[in-house]
């Protein structure tokens, strides 16, 4: 039997990258803090690198042992590495927190997400999964 959309009863989404626009949030946080210190860097590249590294630190976390950190810690660890590698050590602890904590805890949805979900209104159950 071929699977068709009539067989789908529910859609589930994780908030991490499917719903929340992590890219704009991290990029803008880097840019704000960088401007405060007079830095001009490729904030898009650094946002992507922060995401890549923090996911690397979080994927399979707890699979074989009790996790020693959480996803917020992964953001902080990855950010500390990026700061050191890019000569951004003048970022204060408050600056750093605005990137590794405030940014991901205040993300907006991707611009195209609400329109896509409204197309399923009344046809499917929608469920959001959040890993807090």
DSSP string, 28-87: HHHHHHHHHTT----HHHHHHHHHHHHHHHHTTTTSSS--SS-HHHHHHHHHHHHHHHTT
Rounded mean pLDDT, 35-56: 97
Element (H, E) at 129: strand 125-129
| pLDDT-wise least confident of 34-43, 57-66, 121-130 | 121-130
How far does Cα 2 stand from its chain's mean position? 35
User: What is the spatial distance between Cα 118 and Cα 124, in angstroms, rounded to a whole number?
Assistant: 10
Name the pLDDT band for 125 (thresholds 50, 70, 90): low
Calculate ∠ Cα 109-128-43, nearest 5°.
30
Which H/E stretch holds residue 26? Answer: helix 22-36
Radius of gyration of the chain (CA): 18
pLDDT value of residue 5 = 63
pLDDT-derived band at 46 (thresholds 50, 70, 90) equals very high
* Distance separating alpha carbons of residues 107 and 24, to the nearest angstrom: 8
pLDDT at residue 10 tops 90: no
pLDDT in tens, 72-100: 999 999 999 999 999 999 999 999 999 99
The count of other CB atoms within 10 Å of the CB of residue 79 is 26
């Amino acid at each position: 039997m071929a699977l068709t959309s009539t067989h789908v009863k529910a859609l589930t989404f994780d908030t991490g990258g499917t719903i929340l626009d992590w890219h704009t949030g991290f990029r803008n946080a880097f840019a704000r803090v960088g401007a405060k210190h007079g830095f001009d860097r490729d904030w898009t590249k650094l946002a992507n690198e922060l995401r890549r590294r923090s996911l690397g630190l979080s994927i399979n976390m707890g699979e074989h042992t009790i996790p020693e950190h959480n996803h917020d810690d992964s953001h902080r660890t990855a950010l500390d590495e990026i700061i050191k590698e890019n000569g951004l050590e003048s970022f204060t602890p408050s600056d750093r927190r605005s990137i590794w904590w405030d940014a991901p805890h205040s993300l907006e949805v991707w611009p195209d997400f609400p329109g896509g979900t409204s197309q399923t209104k009344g046809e499917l159950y929608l469920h959001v999964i959040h890993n807090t």
